[in-house]
């Protein structure tokens, strides 16, 4: 139900845009988040957007000012625009969606807040 795409190889300082396309009962979704997993480490939160009521954004400190999450309602797609990429951004990026009611901002960064997960898309940033 979630299809992540847009990953690839980019040089440090470059940009990439990841897409998370949803299918099925997309009107049930209230939040989409992006997470990433470094080789041999646990998955970590990157960014999330909640559109149930007032639109709310949340970003990990490590990506603030460099990454932007946005939503195209007509396309049922959420984007992660990544700029000023660093080698330490190299990871597998996953998108996740939540059904149901709005959650508080702090819970947008918690994996257990999400019901559906897409497959990962790899991002490699060369130095």
Q: Pairing between strand 8-11 and 67-72?
A: unpaired
* Cα(101)–Cα(116) distance, integer angstroms: 15
pLDDT at site 103: 86
The confidence score (pLDDT) of residue 15 equals 98
Is the model more confident about 55 or about 68?
Answer: 68
For residues 58 and 86, give the distance between their C-alpha atoms in angstroms, rounded to a whole number: 20
Please write the tens of the pLDDT for every residue from 69-105.
999 988 999 999 999 999 999 999 999 999 878 888 8
pLDDT tens by residue, 4-59: 999 999 999 999 999 999 987 676 788 999 999 999 999 999 999 998 888 999 99
């Amino acid at each position: 139900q979630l299809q992540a795409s847009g990953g690839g190889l980019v040089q440090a300082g470059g940009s990439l845009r990841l897409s998370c396309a949803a299918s099925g009962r997309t009107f049930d979704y209230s939040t989409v988040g992006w997470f990433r997993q470094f080789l041999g480490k646990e998955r970590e939160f990157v960014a999330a957007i909640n559109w149930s009521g007032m639109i709310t954004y949340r970003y990990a400190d490590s990506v603030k000012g460099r990454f932007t999450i946005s939503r195209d309602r007509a396309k049922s797609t959420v984007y992660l625009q990544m700029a000023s990429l660093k080698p330490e951004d190299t990871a597998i990026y996953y998108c996740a969606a939540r059904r149901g009611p709005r959650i508080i901002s702090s819970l947008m960064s918690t994996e257990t807040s999400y019901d559906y997960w897409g497959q990962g898309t790899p991002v490699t940033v060369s130095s």
